[in-house]
Amino acid sequence: MSSPHNPSQNHLLAALPPAEFERLAPHLELVPLLLGQILYEPGGQLQHAYFPTTAIVSLHYVMESGASAETAGVGNEGLVGMALFMGGDTTPSSAVVQTAGHGYRLAGRLLKQEFNRAGLTQRLLLRYTQALIAQMIQTAACNRHHSVEQQLCRWLLLTLDRLPSQELIMTQELVASMLGVRREGITQAAGNLQHAGVIRYRRGHISVMERSGLETRACECYSAVKTELARLLSDVRYRQEISAVAG
């Protein structure tokens, strides 16, 4: 039987056409991604791209003062390391594992190679990059105009969509550093949500009780990001579907 881990758990890998997938598959290496692990630092040369399956990675910008802010998150819908094929080799932001889990690692050289064949892989990667851009734009606007509670709800929903369970292993401190706000601000907002019965938590564990509650309290940014991702990747087919159609 197949192992519990499978590259197709990552949506981008799952969407590659068979020929292109077969070329990459032998080089995909399953790696554990540990909470807090840094996949790359600003300015550092990227050696690998990562296709998360169960892990979630946060793209983070850290300012001179030490203050930081997440600009986008990457889960099983995407990949970390866009700078490899965009040509810059590195970015001024860093990538940190926000939820522990696994992902598939691919040597940067091979990703570039496949990208430069200018086939469907290229097309797919560019589409995904555009979705990532949309997420960053949304984050920029959200940072400007929405309250901490709204942003917390947005963030919880986005994270939830990338996880199999309803529970996040996550301290408030960590959430605060993601959103770039004070820890106390999160305590406050989370307290409200708990009071309303929307979430519950114990030390380092946040459980979502009532997803719809988050949706009504979140700002429009959540659905905007989801909609744009769906739009951009709507016409991609997964190999399974293709073979189902073919068979």
Partner DNA sequence: CCGGCTCCGTGCGGCAACGCACATACACCG
Partner DNA sequence: CGGTGTATGTGCGTTGCCGCACGGAGCCGG
Smallest gap from residue 163 Cβ to DNA (A): 17
Contact of residue 68 among its own copies, DNA, none (CB under 5-8 Å per partner type)? its own copies
Which of 8, 143, 187, 194 is the binder for its own copies (CB under 8 A)? Answer: 143
Q: Is 140 in the site for its own copies (CB under 8 A)?
A: yes
Q: Would residue 118 be called left, alpha or beta, if left means φ above 0 and alpha means ψ between -120 and 50 degrees? A: left
Which of 7, 103, 108, 185 is the binder for DNA (CB under 7 A)? Answer: 185
Distance CA 95, CA 42 (A): 9
- The CB-side HSE value for 66 (13 A sphere, CA atoms) comes to 1
Q: Is 129 in the site for DNA (CB under 7 A)?
A: no
Which of 95, 158, 181, 219 is the binder for DNA (CB under 7 A)? Answer: 181
Q: Is 116 in the site for its own copies (CB under 8 A)?
A: yes
Residues 201-230, interacting with its own copies (CB under 8 A): 220, 224, 228
Distance CA 118, CA 49 (A): 18
Distance CA 35, CA 173 (A): 14
- The CB-side HSE value for 196 (13 A sphere, CA atoms) comes to 17
Nearest to 60, CA basis, from 46, 78, 85, 41: 41
Contact of residue 93 among DNA, its own copies, none (CB under 5-8 Å per partner type)? its own copies
By CB atoms closer than 10 A (0-12, 13-18, 19+), residue 240 is: exposed
Contact of residue 191 among its own copies, DNA, none (CB under 5-8 Å per partner type)? DNA
Smallest gap from residue 186 Cβ to DNA (A): 8
CB 79 within 8 A of CB 92: no
Q: Is 160 in the site for its own copies (CB under 8 A)?
A: no
Residue keyed to tokens 């290229």: 122
Contact of residue 184 among DNA, its own copies, none (CB under 5-8 Å per partner type)? DNA
Which of 21, 37, 61, 201 is the binder for its own copies (CB under 8 A)? Answer: 61
Encoding tokens for residue 85? 């094929």
Encoding tokens for residue 189? 């907002």
**CA 78 from centre of chain:** 6
Q: Is 64 in the site for its own copies (CB under 8 A)?
A: yes
Distance CA 168, CA 48 (A): 27
Distance CA 75, CA 99 (A): 9
Distance CA 94, CA 75 (A): 15
Smallest gap from residue 198 Cβ to its own copies (A): 22
* Binding window for its own copies (CB under 8 A); candidates: 4-12, 96-104, 126-134, 239-247: 126-134
Note the residues at the interface with DNA (CB under 7 A).
147-149, 171-173, 180-185, 187-188, 190-191, 194, 201-204
Note the residues at the interface with its own copies (CB under 8 A).
59, 61, 63-65, 67-69, 71, 82-83, 85-88, 91-93, 116, 118, 123, 126-127, 129-134, 136-141, 143-145, 180, 220, 224, 228, 231-232
